[in-house]
Structure 1
Amino acid sequence: MPKSLDGLCQDTVFDNFYKKHARSLNNFMFYRTGDEQRSLDLVQEAFIKIWDKCSEISLDKAKSYLFKTANNLFLNEVRHQKVVLEYNQNNPFKESTFEDPEFKLREKEFEEKLQSAITALPEGQREVFLLNRIDGKKYREIGEMLEISVKAVEKRMMKAISKLRVEFEHFR
């Protein structure tokens, strides 16, 4: 028989749920966004959405619902940013710049050198690497969080480590 759906709506239950999962969710969102403030905002918004729907979510499914909600919020933000970027590219009143392409390339290389090798990893690889190495999550747990197979987690980790080795050589 399923657990009562109104359990999460109790203040003490929700407070314990928050305390148990806030840090892990924040780390997960930080790995997705690479931005501390943005990750905190997404975590807060995800918990608000959970609270608003607390009577519809069973306590045993609440964690996966929470992570999925936060991830969807992030994906919606990314989609919005793409629309804004496309609009700005097509905006005829865009400010023109007289920088030559070589200058832009040097500027980009400088920014990349400031980033750590981990930040340079593709999103999926960065998430898996940080969830495993920083949060100490097992591959099975990571797979459940990201809704991918353990083999996919292993492949991402292998690629992340390979890329980090190459990036590390580049920064010497």
Structure 2
Amino acid sequence: MPKELHKNVCQESVFAKLYEQYATSLHDFLYYKYGLGTQANDMMQEAFVSLWEACKKVAPSKARSFLFTVANNKVLNELKHQKVVLKYQKIAPKNYTNETPEFLLRQEEFLQQYQTALGNLTEEQRVAFTLSKIEGKKHREIAELLDVTQKVVEYRIYSAFDALKSELKNFKLK
């Protein structure tokens, strides 16, 4: 058995030689075995990336076997994933709800009243309120954005909240 010149494939020159030697045959193997078309090139590249990541563990004489095994496993995993996706696409989403028509009507009414109440707020209140409650920003961040003090932001938010409470008194607000 001849002694190997290199212990692993971590040197760029060795890796480049392996790429030139096996890239075409690996691509053809993936293309003809699985009919991947344009995906065959991607899978081939991923196999070489895996070889590079494991370069210290793979001897040049074992590189071909490593590449073909990794590429084959990647394709099989992808096919298995596609099977699962297809299985869940076949399951029809439920077309019913546990909500009563009265609840849905009340929800629509609330949404309309809420939008009207938001429209009745002053510009400063509306901006501060939406930044805080809808976008989830902290009072300090809002103060920096609006170039005002944090106390002013707090006042605008709480006054907006009070105005919304008074206009939406038929609904419970927390």
Using the size of structure 1 for normalisation, the TM-score is 0.50
Q: Relative contact order, CA 8 A, sep 6+: which one is greater?
A: 1
Pair 11,19 (structure 1): closer, same or farther in 2 beyond 3 Å? same
2:113 alignment counterpart: none
Secondary structure of 1:7's counterpart equals coil
2:143 alignment counterpart: none
CA separation in 2, counterparts of 1:40 and 1:25?
9
**Residue correspondence of structure 1 range 27-106 to structure 2 within 5 A:** 27-92=28-93
CA separation in 1, counterparts of 2:17 and 2:94?
51
2:22 alignment counterpart: 21
Using the size of structure 2 for normalisation, the TM-score is 0.50
Contact 1:5 1:55 in 2 (8 A): no
Unmatched 5+ residue regions in structure 2?
96-174
Larger radius of gyration: 2
1:34 Cα deviation after fit: 1.3
Aligned residue pair count = 94
1:91 Cα deviation after fit: 3.3
Secondary structure of 2:38's counterpart equals helix
Contact 2:8 2:57 in 1 (8 A): no
Pair 81,5 (structure 1): closer, same or farther in 2 beyond 3 Å? farther
Secondary structure of 2:9's counterpart equals helix
Pair 54,86 (structure 1): closer, same or farther in 2 beyond 3 Å? same
